[in-house]
Amino acid sequence: MDVSSESARELLMSGVQLAKDSVRRFVSDGRPTEQRRPLVAGSVGPYGAFLHNGSEYTGAYAEEMSVEDLKVWHRSQVECLAAAGADLIAFETIPSLKEASALVELLREFPNSKAWLSFSCKDGRCISDGSPFTDAVQIANRSTQLVAVGVNCCCPAFVEPLLDYAGSLLSPDMSWVVYPNSGEEWDTQQGWLKSGKTSASIAELCNTWMNQGASLIGGCCRVSPAHIAEIRRQLRGSDASRASALQLD
């Protein structure tokens, strides 16, 4: 699909406006409570997704790029989402420390914007480039504009050990954001495959994550609206004021 930079900008901004229109209709129907109002988050994913070679799952491309290179790549999209009035910027599925550093630095150029920073992870201790999740959280702590840091696009079973591993480093001004995949495994040749391991679902685990300090909980790839509805039901059965359910894929 041949899309000019100006057309891409218009598409991004119209997406934000459509989401904001939905929020306005939701509010006009009188559905939100005083504490609950939907927010619109504009997604900024990893540079590697543009390469179409699977490197967004490893972060290998960052070895050949500088922080400035990555800032240049992401700047126009962040500027567009900020100008369109997104309530939050969702820096998500970030596989490398270098790209995370670039995004934290870039965010300072938009002082009126808030964001979260979410990493893809390969296991219960490391992000996708093999760096400790603790180092990733310390990068997030450099920013006063981040409202949350966490993980997405990973196995649900990884979330609890990751949050435990870095729990002592979480800034008091931030919470965890977690939205893993369904538990299926991605194969670059065959697509999504059923995992050979039996693991608990997001709905079964979400209360544990909330007790660890997560306030934004949801699902990424292969997580359906029905799954999100089940997460909401689970959270309502506990202290629902402490967490919100979200779906991003």
Binding-site residue ranges for Zn(2+) = 153, 220-221
- Cα torsion through 46, 50, 52, 53, rounded to 10: -50
Beta bridge partners of 63: none
Is the four-CA dihedral 199, 223, 80, 84 of positive or negative sign?
negative
Residues sharing a CB contact under 8 Å with residue 108, sequence separation 6 or more, in sequence order: 143, 145
Annotated binding residues, written as ranges, equal 153, 220-221
| Look-up of token digits 């201790």 | 125
- Please report, for residues 120, 138, 139, 142, the alpha-carbon distance to residue 169 in angstroms, rounded to integers and kept in the order given: 18, 7, 11, 12
Nearest to 174 by CA among 139, 124, 122, 222: 139
Residues sharing a CB contact under 8 Å with residue 27, sequence separation 6 or more, in sequence order: 37
CA distance 135 to 99: 13
